[in-house]
Amino acid sequence: MSRGALRAAMEPFSIAAFRSVWLGALSGNSGRFAVILVAGWEAFRQGHHSAIWPSLVSMLILLPTALFGLVSGGLADRLNRATQAAAGQAMAAVATLGAAACIFTHVASLATTLVAAALVGVSSSVQGPAWQALIPNLVGKERMVNAALSTRIAQQGSELVGPAIGTVVLTTAGPGWTFVACSLFYAVGMVLLARIRRQVRPGPRAPGTMLHEVRAGVAYLKATSPLGLLFVWVTLHCCLTMATFGILPTIATVNFGGVGGGL
């Protein structure tokens, strides 16, 4: 990469608000993947070492974004997007802190683990479209491509950061403290996004009700074949590849002598 190309790629980071969004995305998504790790282990242990429960954890965390993404996008057109994104992070922080409290007070069960995973999934569907919609107004059209690529780095990097830190905490301190670490990830993301709420201008609001916007979005996907096909392809890809999380506890137990919960 030439020096000029590198300078252009780094231009979005000259904007303080974009740095907050980028770091908030990295922290919040790290929390989500750490939750997939620890909740999957806990569900595996509580569900009598059946791989179906870690798979269900992954589904509960990831599916709400596909189901409610268009609705959350409609909300983002009506609310302050930074506030909405921060609220989603706060919801996940409370859910994971509640899961930790259940473990520390010895009332945790398969049901509480699955509920916590579902709440994290709903929180992701609330905050994801909002923080992504923040970026164009923060960086402008000329930096949009580089900003979008940079946020993908944050999202993909979180798949390494979250599980890496989560694994260390899980194997040394146990699942309760791992859920606390997840809550801290989300709390950091919440603070970073909330701090820029006064710098965010509302986006252009489409005419009609939110339901009308959702229907228009679905109609646009159907009418625009490349986008519709891409949507279906990504959905199928995630459904198949994320299923691997469900068998990881079984692999660790059978091949490496691990136990659900890490301890």
Q: Are 62 and 125 in contact (CB under 8 A)?
A: no
User: Of the segments 74-83, 151-160, 168-177, 225-234, which one has the largest average pLDDT value?
Assistant: 168-177
Is 132 a residue whose pLDDT tops 90? Answer: no
Least confident piece of the model among 43-52, 59-68, 123-132, 183-192: 59-68
Least confident piece of the model among 65-69, 70-74, 235-239: 235-239
| Single pTM value for the model | 0.84
Is 237 a residue whose pLDDT tops 50? Answer: yes
Q: What is the mean pLDDT of residues 112-120?
A: 96
Burial label, 219 (beta-carbon count in 10 A; 0-12, 13-18, 19+): exposed
Give the pLDDT confidence score for residue 64 in this predicted structure.
Answer: 86
Architecture of the structural domain at 15-256: Up-down Bundle (1.20)
- At CA 74, angle to CA 69 and CA 75, rounded to 5? 95
- Residue 198: which H helix or E strand, with range? none
Q: Tokens 């057109």 correspond to what residue? A: 77
Give the pLDDT confidence score for residue 34 in this predicted structure.
Answer: 95
Q: What is the mean pLDDT of residues 135-141?
A: 84
